[in-house]
């Protein structure tokens, strides 16, 4: 590990220095992508022989088996662990969560009475929102995390929601019963490598005329993998093992059996603002954060991991804010299965 990263992790580098280092690494990343470009067609062909997702246990441990108490501390009231939407710019964290949830349902063309499958439901922000706003719908939410399932089920029971079923399953092994009017997914496709195969399976899970909605972060032009090959790959090692940064065209290119109906490009500054809000709450409740982290990381490493999460938020915020939010946007897609 480099001296700079060690200093940052131990709290000996200022946030200003850390952010400057992050922006330098982002510039280097872009330079390397421009110097050695690879088409989405080539990426899809290369990844066709892989599993749907790789390193799923590592990804689960890095984010999704962390105690719910931590996320209740730093996220908004909906526990939306993904980008919010700030249409006016002065919304509260809770309002930004609700704005993106509402927009996602609109883009997915959800209607009451539909049978809906959610892939990668996180802490249930969209699942619980759909169950409450579409009471005649039947919703199946899939997570790879037992703690997330327990949390969502407890919230559904507390709110009297009886139209939501949560399933714990590795996406590689998912075989849902029946077919669906809608499949929705928020920031799960970034953990998938073989997108063509997953999109084919989703097509099989949809009714004729059914639709897929995907919320995904992206780079405007380039696809690349998160792999821990050097000391610079800190994000890949600790927070995004097995992940992928898709280009804005990767999913439409991979979708052979689904037709792209619509897309929306959401400026990355919306996500950056969300991450800064999480960082602020992380800092405001540092004692509570340390207490929670002692449970999952141990007393010896709790402080180290508290700082690593701070760096994670800063790194992601700087990425999405880069080039005024134009370089790494959030994409919404709606795909349709032919009748």
Above 90 in pLDDT, residue 5?
Answer: no
- Asked whether 184 and 213 are in contact (CB, 8 A), the reply is yes
Say what the pTM is: 0.95
Tell me which of 39-43, 145-149, 208-212, 260-264 is least confident: 145-149
Residue found under tokens 């719910």? 68
- Asked whether 256 and 196 are in contact (CB, 8 A), the reply is yes
For residue 255, what are the contacts with CB-CB under 8 A and spacing of at least 6?
A: 196, 199, 335
Structure tokens at 118: 């959610």
Question: From its phi and psi, is residue 235 left (phi > 0), alpha (psi between -120 and 50) or beta?
Answer: alpha
Above 60 in pLDDT, residue 62?
Answer: no
- Asked whether 41 and 251 are in contact (CB, 8 A), the reply is no
Q: What does the domain layout of the chain look like in residue ranges?
A: 38-336
Mean pLDDT, residues 70-82? 97
Above 60 in pLDDT, residue 54?
Answer: yes
Task: Round to whole Å and give the CA distance between 74 and 66.
Answer: 13
* Percent of the chain whose pLDDT exceeds 90: 85
pLDDT in tens, 93-143: 999 999 999 999 999 999 999 999 999 999 999 999 999 999 999 999 999
Mean pLDDT, residues 206-230? 94
pLDDT value of position 76: 98
How many residues can be counted in the chain? 339
CATH class of segment(s) 38-336: alpha beta
pLDDT in tens, 253-305: 999 999 999 999 999 999 999 999 999 999 999 999 999 999 999 999 999 99
């Amino acid at each position: 590990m480099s001296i700079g990263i060690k200093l940052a992790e131990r709290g000996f580098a200022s946030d200003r220095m850390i952010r400057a280092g992050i922006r330098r690494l982002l510039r280097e990343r872009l330079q390397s992508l421009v110097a050695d470009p690879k088409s989405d067609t080539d990426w899809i062909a290369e990844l066709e022989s892989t599993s749907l997702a790789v390193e799923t246990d590592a990804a689960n441990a890095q984010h999704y088996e962390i105690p719910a108490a931590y996320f209740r501390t730093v996220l908004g009231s909906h526990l939306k662990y993904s980008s919010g939407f700030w249409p006016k710019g002065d919304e509260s964290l809770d309002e930004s969560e609700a704005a993106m949830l509402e927009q996602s349902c609109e883009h997915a063309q959800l209607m009451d009475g539909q049978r809906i499958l959610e892939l990668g439901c996180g802490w249930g922000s969209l699942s619980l929102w759909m169950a409450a706003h579409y009471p005649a719908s039947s919703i199946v939410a899939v997570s790879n995390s037992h703690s997330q399932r327990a949390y969502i089920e407890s919230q559904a029971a507390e709110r009297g929601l009886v139209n939501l079923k949560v399933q714990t399953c590795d996406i590689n092994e998912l075989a849902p019963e029946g077919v669906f009017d809608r499949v929705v997914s928020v920031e799960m496709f970034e953990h998938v490598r073989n997108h063509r195969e997953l999109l084919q399976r989703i097509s099989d899970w949809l009714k004729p005329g059914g639709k897929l909605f995907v919320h995904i972060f992206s780079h405007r032009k380039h696809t690349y993998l998160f792999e821990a090959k050097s000391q610079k790959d800190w994000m890949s090692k600790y927070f995004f093992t097995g992940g992928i940064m898709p280009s804005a065209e990767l999913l439409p290119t991979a979708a052979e059996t689904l037709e792209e109906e619509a897309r929306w490009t959401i400026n990355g500054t919306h996500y950056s603002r969300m991450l800064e809000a999480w960082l602020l709450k992380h800092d405001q409740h540092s004692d509570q954060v340390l207490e929670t982290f002692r449970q999952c990381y141990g007393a010896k490493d709790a402080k180290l991991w508290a700082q690593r999460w701070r760096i994670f938020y800063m790194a992601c915020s700087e990425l999405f804010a880069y080039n005024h939010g134009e370089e790494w946007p959030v994409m919404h897609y709606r795909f349709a299965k032919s009748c």
